[in-house]
Amino acid sequence: MFEPAPDPDPAGLGPLRQEIAEGCRVLAARRLAPGVLGHISVRVDAARLLIRCRGPHERGLAYTTAEDVRLVDPAGRPGAEGELAGGHTAPYELPLHARILERRPDVACVVHAHPRDVVVADLAGLPILPVVGAYDIPGAALAAAGVPVYPRAALIHTPGLADEVADALGRRNAVVMRGHGLTTVGASVAEAVLRAASVQAIASISLAVAAAGGTPRAIPDEDLAELPNLGSGLNLGAAWRHELARLHEGELP
């Protein structure tokens, strides 16, 4: 008697795994997560999350596939049968994702990246300010709302350290981690990744201004007030399609 093949994706998480994998590759293409450092997570339910894991043949974020994205619980245990098979392991900084997701029910995705210019700007004493306006409207709004700094350069591998980062983040959408990197949150992979890209862009511009002998300054409040919300169709939809097109065409950053 004919036996149907087992469903390779019984939980229906395949598209979300692919979305996380693409987000990781965008981070790498934008030089926000060089090498093997960095990860993206998405809440699946109250007890499980999908997260970019390391496998036995790790090649770095630029080469992430859906196979690298595994379902785990907040302690790093498999969230379903076989999820950590083949030598895959959850990242050491899983608590960073788990604690933020638990404490921020308004967000679904956490991005942790290591953008060099963000780290350098913070070490140089340059905060993330809304130094640009129409150049990057979502970035200006993000910076105007405040991007706090977590002052420790530790690996966030315990719930206690993760709670410290979550405390620093508060209700905002990005936190700089001194001597370490950046964590952003969003309602989707696209939103959290694009927020990380905006913080990196502002840090890079601020460094360039300082290198030219200037002082990065926030644009006036009246200019901020004239920056309309262009809507998710442009800020997220079109912007994310652009990032994915760059990936698929093999365009260098």
8 within a domain of the structure (yes/no)? no
Model pTM above 0.85: yes
- Unique residue bearing structure tokens 């379903």: 80
Identify the residue with better confidence: 236 or 23: 23
Mean pLDDT for the chain overall: 93
- The band of 252, judged by pLDDT with boundaries at 50, 70 and 90, is very low
Is 93 assigned a catalytic role? yes
Please compute the mean of the pLDDT values over residues 67-77 and round it to a whole number.
96
Structurally, the chain folds into a number of domains equal to 1
221 within a domain of the structure (yes/no)? yes
Q: Which domain holds residue 97?
A: 14-248
Please check whether residue 173 is in contact with residue 111, taking contact to mean a CB–CB distance below 8 angstroms: no
Could you say which of 22, 83, 93, 191 is catalytic?
93
Per-residue pLDDT at 75 exceeds 70? yes
Per-residue pLDDT at 118 exceeds 60? yes
**How do residues 213-228 score in pLDDT, each as one tens digit?**
999 999 999 999 999 8
Per-residue pLDDT at 5 exceeds 70? no
Q: What is the DSSP string of 4-39?
A: PPPPS-TTS-HHHHHHHHHHHHHHHHTTSS-TT--E
Please check whether residue 147 is in contact with residue 206, taking contact to mean a CB–CB distance below 8 angstroms: no
Per-residue pLDDT at 117 exceeds 80? yes
CATH of residue 233's domain is 3.40.225.10
Per-residue pLDDT at 232 exceeds 80? no
